[in-house]
A and B are shown apart, each in its own frame.
Chain A
Amino acid sequence: MHVPILKQGGYLIATIQSVLSDADLLQLRDDLADRVGQFRSRGVIIDVTVLDVIDSFATRTLRGVAHMLKLRGADTVIVGIQPDVAFAMVQLGLTLEGVGTALDLEEGLAFLNAKAKRGGVVARTGAAARRSPPGAHDSQIKRGGSRR
């Protein structure tokens, strides 16, 4: 089943709609890699609320997606891992090391906003955008809005 990808400001939101086969997961990876380039997105949220199981393959793929998108300049946050699913992942020894996770969509957006602010993310398209040195004051960073 195809996973719809929505553009929300500078972010992409992929909400998984039903249980996914391996092929669907790989398709999602490829779609996200394309869209990040197309929309110049700085952050991606993958909502996995409906997944019944996140097994070793799904974990490896999600981790791969996040690392690949990072190389494309976008942060990924996985949201909505259900308690039982998380427990089974722990039992299997599976971790999403190096990948952002958040409780739900709202927390995921907050995570990306916070990360953008903290990490000195500059608007990709801004002509005057300059990368700030680490630890630079937030006010030096030009962003679309001054929320938070």
Chain B
Amino acid sequence: MSTFNEEYSVPIKSAADIVVARQKGRALAIQLGFNGSDPTMIAAAISEVARNIVNHAKSGEIVLSGIYDSRRHGIQVVARDDGPGIPNVDQAMQYGFSSNKGMGVGLPGAKWLMDEFDIQSQVGKGTRVSMRKWVT
């Protein structure tokens, strides 16, 4: 089980890094035993949170890791940036709300794709989105 204890960090500096992050995420998901449409769900969720970094914070990172508890295992995706932060997180999590030209689908969509979703943001400090999905 210790095979997957490593963390993969993907720096997100430009839109091209979004593709790298989701490909790494998909590869790790498959390695962890996700099957069917799950790797694609995970890749799509990573794509959305990585895009959030590019659109709002300019740079940050995506950290991917395998997670375990006594009964199950899964994947954790943390998206971290030192951007301007989100003044109203509840609003940002509303479907269709966008502070810029986006569709307002990214964050709520990523939440739907994963099993667990947590977002913390401080204005002027940055945002941290943590998502988990378990192998079923």
Chain A residues with CB below 8 A from B67, complex form = none
Asked whether A56 lies within 8 Å of B51 as measured between CB atoms, the reply is: yes
Question: Chain B nearest CB: distance from A19 CB in Å?
Answer: 5
Chain A residues with CB below 8 A from B113, complex form = 88, 91-92
Which B residue's beta carbon lies closest to that of A18?
A: B19
Which B residue's beta carbon lies closest to that of A20?
A: B19
Which of B1-9, B84-92, B102-110 forms part of the interface with chain A?
A: B102-110
Asked whether A56 lies within 8 Å of B37 as measured between CB atoms, the reply is: no
Asked whether B40 lies within 8 Å of A84 as measured between CB atoms, the reply is: yes
Kindly state whether residue B81 has any CB partner on chain A within 8 Å.
no
Interface of chain A: mostly helix, strand, loop or mixed: helix
Within the complex, which residue of B19, B23, B37 is in contact with A88, where a contact is CB–CB below 8 Å?
Answer: B37
Interface of chain B: mostly helix, strand, loop or mixed: helix
Asked whether A21 lies within 8 Å of B105 as measured between CB atoms, the reply is: no
Asked whether A92 lies within 8 Å of B19 as measured between CB atoms, the reply is: no
Residue among A52, A60, A82, A83 with most chain B CB within 10 A: A52
Kindly state whether residue A22 has any CB partner on chain B within 8 Å.
yes
Chain B residues with CB below 8 A from A60, complex form = 102-103
Chain A residues with CB below 8 A from B105, complex form = 56, 92-94
Which A residue's beta carbon lies closest to that of B46?
A: A53
Known: A53-B22, A53-B40, A55-B51. A21 touches B16 (CB 8 A): yes
Question: Chain A nearest CB: distance from B19 CB in Å?
Answer: 5
Chain B residues with CB below 8 A from A128, complex form = none
Using a Cβ–Cβ cut-off of 8 Å, how many residues does chain A contribute to the interface with B? 23
Q: How far is the CA of A84 from the CA of B19 in the complex (A)?
A: 17
Kindly state whether residue B127 has any CB partner on chain A within 8 Å.
no
- Contact flags (1/0) for A1-38 with B, using CB distance below 8 Å? 00000000000000000011111000000000000000
Asked whether A87 lies within 8 Å of B51 as measured between CB atoms, the reply is: no
Query: Which 9 pairs show the lowest CB-CB distances between chains A and B?
Result: A92-B109, A84-B40, A22-B15, A88-B44, A55-B47, A84-B37, A56-B105, A21-B16, A53-B44
Residues of B bordering A, CB below 8 Å? 15-16, 18-19, 22-23, 26, 36-37, 39-41, 43-44, 47-48, 51, 95, 102-103, 105-106, 108-109, 112-113
